[in-house]
Each structure stands twice: as C-alpha cells, then as structure tokens.
C-alpha cells in the first residue's frame, strides 16, 4: 500500500509540532473594530451590500443570541470566551465585488499555492490534476475567488459565495437560508446567523448532476479574528452534488474562534455528498493556541428518496464541537455519516452525528472511528431518534475507538430513541488499543514498529477513507499520519 509508506514518510519528515500550514500571510487587511454590537452587524451587512431584510434577519438573531447561554454539556474544557475580544470582520484589501483570478492579490494566490489548493483553472485544465474541482476560497471573512463559474453555469449549477448569492439570488436565499438550521437553533448557530461574513452557496437545479466536485477552502489568517462562514447547498429534484471542504489556519498562541453553519437541502431523489477535511491549527505541544471549532452542520432530506452523506476527517482544532446531522423527513430517504476523528497533544474532540428519522422507510448508517493519542480527549456523541410515524426505519451504528498511549481518553455517548415498533436499530461500539498480536504479526515480517502501527491505523480507518473522493482520500491519509506523529512507539 503506497499510501501507508507515504504516511510513514510524513511522520518521519516532520518535526513534532511543525504544523505545516502554520505560516501567516502578510497582506493588507480591512477590519471591523473589535467586539460585537448591533453596529458591528450593521457594518458587516453594509460591507456586504446586503438588502435590508438580510440585516433584519441578522439583528433578530443577535437579539436572540444575547438571551442565550453557552452550552456546557459537551466533554470539552476551555476558558471562557470573551466574545467582545474578537474581530468579526477581516477582509483582504483590494477584494471588492466579484473578481477574476488576475485581480487577486498575488500574495493570496501564493498562500493557496502553499496550501496546495488549485485555484488556477488553466493549470488544472492543462492536466496538472486528473479530475476537475471547482474551488471557492474563503480568506478570513470573505470569499476571494470562485473558479470554474462559467463552466458550472452552463450546466445550470450556481456556485458562488453566499454574499454574492444574497445579492443575486435573494429569492433562493429567502426560501432556504435558516430553513434547516433556524436562527434560534443553538448558541453558536445563532451567533453565526448574526455575524456570518461569507461562505459558499450551491444550487443544483432539477435533474442536474453537477459536472465536477465543488470545493471550498477556508483559511483564518488574521490574529484575533473569528471565522463565521455559512454554507447553503440545495439539490433540487433528482440532482446530485459532491462538495468538499478544507480548512487551515496559521500557528498562533491565542485561541481563535470558528463558528460555522452548514445547511443542506435535498429534494425528491436528490443526493448530496459533503466531505470535510478539517485541519485547523490544533495548538502546540503544550496545548497553547489552536482553533475553537464550534460548528453546526445539518442536512435536511426533505424529499422522498433523497440522500445526504457526511464524511469527515477531523485532525485539527484545539476543540471540536461538531455534529453533522441528517433530518430524514422524506419517505425512503437515507442519511450517512462517516467520520475519522484523530486527537493528539491537548486536543479535545466532542463530535458525532444526529439521525432524526421522521419519514417512512428511512435508513441511516453511522461509521465513526476515533483515534486518541497524547493527552487528548476524544468523544463520540451521537443521536439516533426514530419518531412515532417513522415506519420501518433502520439504523446501523458502529463507533470504534483506538487508544494510543495511556494518558488519553476515548469516550462514546450514543443516544438511541425508538418510538416506533417497526424500528430496527443496531448500535455497536468498541474501544481497544492496537493489539500486541497484530503488531507482532507485522513486525516479525520485518516491518518496523512505527510502520506496523501506521499500517494498523490505516486499516482501522479504511471504511471511512473509502468514502472520500479520491483527491481527498490521499490528503486525509497523510493528515492522519501527521496528526499521530510523536505518539507512536
């Protein structure tokens, strides 16, 4: 398996806390004053040239947020966040309105190059990459460039930043924004509704199979900024789209806040595949710095026979609080969740999913693989709920945890609720360490210990890696290798 060898090389080649994406881009930035108030929200809305109804929507959310309390049920610990000590808007200067790639600050392009994000369509077309991926790149608070727009337009697919969509497709935004994650949903989602600055908007019309993978790359660059992006993906009847999301941030001592909301809507027979490789800065060896990742992701299988599938590889962030969910409203709809969560150092992960079965003959599948190393805490928290009228609902859940080292913790907290007699729910969870037998078997065939462990870990996460689009699968495997370095042997 060449990928395994690659992982090993990555592990060897890189120093312990050398977060590869920890560099900072020096660039002129347009920032709102620090802090959060109605004025800041007006400022963001004005910067984005938003219509009045959007501003009202934000202000309503803000008022609501002021009355809410920060949730404390997750198994994560962190000092109290001062929400007034954060910049809620930071944008690279010179980016106003839609831009072509030539107008983008070359410094920014270099940043994305360093990150390995293909923004230059020509290169891709010239065959540098084997398959085409359209990218929306979000830098701090704004989307800097969206590639392949024209080609997508031909197919009728709308792929643009959400700020543009608010201006250009207000009818779609009004109809769908907040229809899956309402502004009142939870503390962080409400905060996001008030201050979100950018994100991606995807609309795939009836019967269209999106001709290429869509992708967004998020980067937090500025100090003390929070990133609040909002993504909305709509697949009309019979449509199909696969969407990838990646994230990085510079290495800093302070903690930075990321509170995103992702909403997916699948109508009759539509399918949405959403994949994430989350690699925010996890903090250094002593647990200093890192991103607080409080994300609300939810898909609504609104139509009959619709399908939403979440795949995530979580290796970054100091704290992850994230539960990509599926509301299986349409009859015969299907939800899937595949997750690899790797925690090392002082990372804390509390992540999982929710499968809410409302329609008849709905089914869901959850495969979660947690790997903890160092002094990290890794929690799977998932809910499967079969409502009264969800005849013949099916769920299968498998969550396995692997512990590397005796200072870390692995926890599993499933919530299973059945209210219909015909429900069929199966849940299984295991926790173990890499078995000595497996390791011995590999080593006595001449494989060094470190490689043997990498081999076993790769086998452990295989079920999930297989769900990722090919380009991401390779990246994900490398990331897992890097995340686990220093914990092996």
In the complex, minimum distance from the CB of residue 310 to other proteins, in angstroms, rounded to a whole number? 22
Nearest Cα neighbor of 163 from 118, 198, 114, 205 is 198
Q: Is 418 in the site for other proteins (CB under 8 A)?
A: yes
Residue 434 and residue 414: Cα distance in Å, rounded? 23
User: Within 13 Å, how many C-alpha atoms sit on residue 235's CB side?
Assistant: 30
Residue 181 and residue 286: Cα distance in Å, rounded? 36
Residue 286 and residue 284: Cα distance in Å, rounded? 5
Written as six digits, the tokens of 79 are 């000092």
Residues 6 or more apart whose CB falls under 8 angstroms from that of 86 comprise: 34, 35, 36, 224, 225, 226, 257
**Using CB under 8 A, which of the segments 206-214, 314-322, 340-348, 396-404 binds other proteins?**
396-404
Q: Is 68 in the site for other proteins (CB under 8 A)?
A: no
In the complex, minimum distance from the CB of residue 343 to other proteins, in angstroms, rounded to a whole number? 13
> For other proteins, which is the closer residue by CB, 170 or 409?
409
Q: Considering only residues 410, 442, 452, 455, which one is a binding residue for other proteins as defined by CB under 8 A? A: 410
Provide DSSP, 166-233: HHH-HHHHHHHTTSSS-TTS-HHHHHHHHH--B-EEEEE-TT-B-SSEEEEEEE--STTBEE-BEEEE
Long-range contacts for 446-449 (Cβ within 8 Å, ≥24 apart)? 449/488, 449/489
Nearest Cα neighbor of 202 from 241, 174, 228 is 241
Q: Is 24 in the site for other proteins (CB under 8 A)?
A: no
Q: What is the largest CA-CA distance in the chain?
A: 69
Count H helices, E strands: the chain?
A: 12, 25
- Between CA 460 and CA 465, with CA 464 as vertex, the angle to 5 degrees is 90
Q: Considering only residues 286, 424, 448, 470, which one is a binding residue for other proteins as defined by CB under 8 A? A: 424
**Using CB under 8 A, which of the segments 114-122, 168-176, 327-335, 427-435 binds other proteins?**
427-435
Q: Is 421 in the site for other proteins (CB under 8 A)?
A: yes
Q: Is 408 in the site for other proteins (CB under 8 A)?
A: yes
**SS3 of 274, please?**
strand
Residue 264 and residue 266: Cα distance in Å, rounded? 7
Q: Considering only residues 9, 24, 426, 449, which one is a binding residue for other proteins as defined by CB under 8 A? A: 426
Q: Considering only residues 427, 438, 456, 469, which one is a binding residue for other proteins as defined by CB under 8 A? A: 427
Q: Considering only residues 278, 362, 412, 467, which one is a binding residue for other proteins as defined by CB under 8 A? A: 412
Provide DSSP, 234-260: EE-TT-EEEEEEEEE----SSEEEE--
In the complex, minimum distance from the CB of residue 423 to other proteins, in angstroms, rounded to a whole number? 6
Q: Is 279 in the site for other proteins (CB under 8 A)?
A: no
> For other proteins, which is the closer residue by CB, 169 or 411?
411
Written as six digits, the tokens of 485 are 């370095």
Q: Is 431 in the site for other proteins (CB under 8 A)?
A: yes
Q: Is 405 in the site for other proteins (CB under 8 A)?
A: yes
In the complex, minimum distance from the CB of residue 323 to other proteins, in angstroms, rounded to a whole number? 15
Per-residue binding string, other proteins, 292-331, x by CB under 8 A, is: ----------------------------------------
Q: Is 107 in the site for other proteins (CB under 8 A)?
A: no
Q: Considering only residues 55, 101, 172, 416, which one is a binding residue for other proteins as defined by CB under 8 A? A: 416
Q: Considering only residues 37, 96, 430, 466, which one is a binding residue for other proteins as defined by CB under 8 A? A: 430
Q: Considering only residues 15, 77, 406, 437, which one is a binding residue for other proteins as defined by CB under 8 A? A: 406
Q: Is 422 in the site for other proteins (CB under 8 A)?
A: yes
In the complex, minimum distance from the CB of residue 350 to other proteins, in angstroms, rounded to a whole number? 13
Q: Considering only residues 53, 428, 459, 489, which one is a binding residue for other proteins as defined by CB under 8 A? A: 428
Considering CB under 8 A, how many residues would be counted as binding other proteins? 35
Residues that bind other proteins (CB under 8 A): 73, 386, 388, 401, 403-433
């Amino acid at each position: 398996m060449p990928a395994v060898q690659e992982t090993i090389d990555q592990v060897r080649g890189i120093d312990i806390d050398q977060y590869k994406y920890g560099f900072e881009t020096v660039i002129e930035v347009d920032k709102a004053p620090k802090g959060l108030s109605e004025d800041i929200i007006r400022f963001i809305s004005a910067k984005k040239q938003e219509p009045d109804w959007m501003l009202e929507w934000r202000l309503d959310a803000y008022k609501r947020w002021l009355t809410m309390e920060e949730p404390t049920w997750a198994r994560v610990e962190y000092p109290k966040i001062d929400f007034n000590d954060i910049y809620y808007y930071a944008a690279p200067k010179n980016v106003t309105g839609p831009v072509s790639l030539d107008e983008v600050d070359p410094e920014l392009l270099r940043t994305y190059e360093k990150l390995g994000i293909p923004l230059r369509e020509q290169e891709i077309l010239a065959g540098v990459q084997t398959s085409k991926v359209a990218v929306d790149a979000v830098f701090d608070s704004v989307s800097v460039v969206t590639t392949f727009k024209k080609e997508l337009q031909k197919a009728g697919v709308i792929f643009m930043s959400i700020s543009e969509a608010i201006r250009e497709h207000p009818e779609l935004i009004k109809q769908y924004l907040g229809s899956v994650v309402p502004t009142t949903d939870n503390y962080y989602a409400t905060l996001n509704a008030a201050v979100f600055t950018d994100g991606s908007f995807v609309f795939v019309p009836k019967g269209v199979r999106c001709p290429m993978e869509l992708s967004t790359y998020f980067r937090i660059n500025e100090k003390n900024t929070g990133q609040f992006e909002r993504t909305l993906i709509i697949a009309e009847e019979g449509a199909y789209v696969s969407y990838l999301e990646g994230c990085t941030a510079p290495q800093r001592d302070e903690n930075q806040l990321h509170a995103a909301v992702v909403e997916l809507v699948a109508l009759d027979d539509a399918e949405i595949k959403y994949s994430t490789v989350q690699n925010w800065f996890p903090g250094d060896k002593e647990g200093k710095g890192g991103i607080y990742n409080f994300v609300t992701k939810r898909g609504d299988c609104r139509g009959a026979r619709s399908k939403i599938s979440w795949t995530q590889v979580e290796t970054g962030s100091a704290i992850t609080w994230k539960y990509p969910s599926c509301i299986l409203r349409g009859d015969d709809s299907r939800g899937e969740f595949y997750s690899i969560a790797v925690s090392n150092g002082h990372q804390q992960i509390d992540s999982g999913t929710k499968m809410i079965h409302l329609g008849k003959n709905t089914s869901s599948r959850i495969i979660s693989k947690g790997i903890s190393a160092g002094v990290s805490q890794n929690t799977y928290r998932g809910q499967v709920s079969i409502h009264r009228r969800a005849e013949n609902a099916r769920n299968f859940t498998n969550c396995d945890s692997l512990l590397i080292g005796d200072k870390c913790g692995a926890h599993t907290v499933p919530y299973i609720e059945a209210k219909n007699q015909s429900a069929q729910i199966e849940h299984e969870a295991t926790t173990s360490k890499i078995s000595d037998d497996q390791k011995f078997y590999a080593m006595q065939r001449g494989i060094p210990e470190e490689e043997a462990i990498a081999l076993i870990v790769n086998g452990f996460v295989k079920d999930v890696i297989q769900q990722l689009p090919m380009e991401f699968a390779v990246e994900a495997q490398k990331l897992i290798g890097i995340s686990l370095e220093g914990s092996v042997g």
